[in-house]
Structure 1
Amino acid sequence: MKKHSIGKLVIMLVLMLAFVTGCTNNGSKITIVGSSAMQLLAEQAGNDYRLSHQDSNIVVQGGGSGTGLSQVQAGAVQIGTSDVFAETQKGIDAKKLRDYKIAVVGIVPIVNKGVGVKNVSQKQLKQIFTGKLTNWKQLGGKNEAITVINRSKGSGTRSAFEDIILQGTKPVKSQEQDSNGAVKKIVNSTPGTISYLSFPYAHDTNIQKLSINGVKPTNKNITTNKWKIWCYEHMYTKGKPNKQTKAFINYMLGEKVQKDLVPKIGYLSINEMKVTRNSKNQVTQIGK
């Protein structure tokens, strides 16, 4: 065989191999988009999963729960993550989606350490975020104006916080931030500020977490709804997931993630809950 013919054959074989490999990678790719509160868990689980599933290709992105739900509904991603139930979101047809509750995450109000307040009532917290309380002196703290930092409107953490605390009351106009990290940085450095974080982002010793009605923000208190500001971390698929996606969801619900990774990062295993909450925020004790 002539040299140039052999060269052409080699090139063709290389191109064919690249095509087949590309198809294989695309077929096994799982794109996960949505909740920033769940991003830590999804990223770490995805990294661990790849170690034992060499052919997997898992890409995790934030963007907020609203983005996750709209993207999975459109078929643009395999999994949409959300801190809120799909049926509560405008423009989302929950009947076309499948809900997998992966974990539970707490939400905690945080303040700048200089305000001089460590505990508020639930009513006071509502009054702060609706603009009825405007100075920390009104809460027994420093004579300093209260500055509210809210999450962006697409945030599932914000939706959960407002559903439980504001209960339909209009929030005060305030600065808005897209991520837990940005909120933490601003509150730590800006006098008089208050906001809220999901538990996994609130381990920093520089953060002043608020108790509510004398109840401390702990995972143990969430299991019985003694600490009331919490939500499910959902993974949604559009209809029945493909084989690769279902395998990863099963991994998320399995013992390795639920018993080891979930508590390690600061979430709460779905199996630890003694109560359930529905999309209308009605809480029921499990077993009753």
Structure 2
Amino acid sequence: MKIITTRILLGLVVLGLCSCNSVKSTSPTNNSQNNPQTQPPIKLAGSSSSVTVLKVLTEAYQANNQTATFEFVSQGQSEGAIAALKNGIVDIASSSHKLKPEEDNGKIQYRELAEDLLIVATHNSVKGVTNVTTDQLKSIYAGKITNWKELGGPNAKILVLDRPEDESAKKLLRKYYLGQDKTTTQAVILNKEGELIDTLQSTPYSIGAFSLAYSLINQLPVNRLNLNGTAPNKANFTNGKYQMVRHLGLIWQKTPTSNTQKFIDFVFSPEGTKLLQDKGFIPHN
């Protein structure tokens, strides 16, 4: 398989925490030493598939709390973000899976935040294909269907963009559609969801799976596919017709700082819930 990776600028060896390239928030003032009114930064880490919800929430919080600052420490895997929290490197971790018993050291707490539908989409060059069945999707990922014309689309080779087997997107694809069939060796494996999205947008005739909310928030010009005739939307999730969804949660210390607690209170407030709904997430009841 072809593997696309990014150069790690700052290494942090904690389970799956694959990068520690600190990304400062876009707040006009970020340095509490230069501005005594600015709060110490709240440090966050999350899986690449859950960082979108963190950015939505932090940007909205800062809009009404201009002294608040955030520092994104990692966009790796959920396991790495949780390890960073337990080691005191960050204040909040986001995860695309529920906290496992073996991950709980008794000093942290987990709360489910929202569901995020996983969609299968193609580059907008794929005309004439709006729906695929389970068998067709399995055949695409297995390399048995290799040209879009076999599905009523253009006469062009299909390029499968995929995620590693231990990532939530691939696990969900296998659970609901792919089963245990081997993925074609011609697939391009991308370590982060953002890399897959960027590659899909710039690569004609490609196909991949990623966040519906991200697609809606950024108004991506991609071709979102129906699966077995079912569109990936909130209504079909609610009525049980579309089940491929990620469960996003937040984890923080049981005794957080006051700044962290204020942000957490906002996240789970009616205002935070409405914000998530407006951005395409399905807030957890």
* TM-score strictly above 0.5: yes
Tell me how far apart the structure 1 counterparts of residues 33 and 136 of structure 2 sit (CA, whole Å).
62
CA contact (8 A) 1:66 1:155 kept: no
Structure 2 CA distance for partners of 1:253 and 1:123, relative to 1, 3 Å: farther
Aligned length: 248
Which residue in the other structure is 1:34 paired with?
46
Aligned counterpart for 2:204 among listed residues 163, 170, 191: 191
Unmatched tracts of structure 1, length 5 or more = 1-16, 272-288
The offset of 1:213, in angstroms, is 0.8
The offset of 1:235, in angstroms, is 0.8
CA contact (8 A) 1:35 1:155 kept: no
Q: TM-score, normalising length from structure 1?
A: 0.72
SS at match of 1:80: strand
The amino acid of 1:40's aligned partner reads T
The offset of 1:230, in angstroms, is 0.9
Unmatched tracts of structure 2, length 5 or more = 1-31
Aligned ranges for residues 73-92 of structure 1 at < 5 Å? 73-87=86-100
Structure 1 runs (4+) deviating above 6 angstroms are none
CA contact (8 A) 1:180 1:201 kept: no
Q: TM-score, normalising length from structure 2?
A: 0.73
Tell me how far apart the structure 1 counterparts of residues 122 and 67 of structure 2 sit (CA, whole Å).
45
RMSD: 3.2
Q: Note if 1:138 corresponds to 2:146.
A: no
The offset of 1:253, in angstroms, is 1.1
Higher helix share: 1
Tell me how far apart the structure 2 counterparts of residues 165 and 242 of structure 1 sit (CA, whole Å).
43
Tell me how far apart the structure 2 counterparts of residues 239 and 224 of structure 1 sit (CA, whole Å).
36
Which residue in the other structure is 2:163 paired with?
151
Tell me how far apart the structure 2 counterparts of residues 153 and 69 of structure 1 sit (CA, whole Å).
20
Which residue in the other structure is 1:209 paired with?
224
Residues 190-235 of structure 1: per-residue CA shift (max 9 Å, x gap): 2331101201232336311110011111122122331121111111
SS at match of 1:231: strand
Which residue in the other structure is 1:275 paired with?
none
CA contact (8 A) 2:48 2:193 kept: yes
Which residue in the other structure is 1:45 paired with?
57
CA contact (8 A) 1:64 1:154 kept: no
The offset of 1:155, in angstroms, is 4.2
> Mean alpha-carbon deviation: is it higher for 106-115 or for 227-236?
106-115
Q: State, as a whole percentage, how many aligned pairs show the same letter.
A: 24
The offset of 1:51, in angstroms, is 4.5
CA contact (8 A) 2:115 2:284 kept: yes
Tell me how far apart the structure 1 counterparts of residues 224 and 59 of structure 2 sit (CA, whole Å).
30
Structure 2 CA distance for partners of 1:102 and 1:127, relative to 1, 3 Å: same
Tell me how far apart the structure 1 counterparts of residues 201 and 263 of structure 2 sit (CA, whole Å).
37
Higher Cα radius of gyration? 1
Tell me how far apart the structure 2 counterparts of residues 62 and 68 of structure 1 sit (CA, whole Å).
8
Structure 2 CA distance for partners of 1:262 and 1:57, relative to 1, 3 Å: same
Aligned ranges for residues 1-288 of structure 1 at < 5 Å? 25-26=39-40, 29-53=41-65, 56-60=68-72, 61-87=74-100, 93-94=103-104, 96=106, 97-115=108-126, 116-152=128-164, 155-173=167-185, 174-203=187-216, 204=219, 206-239=221-254, 241-259=256-274, 261-271=275-285
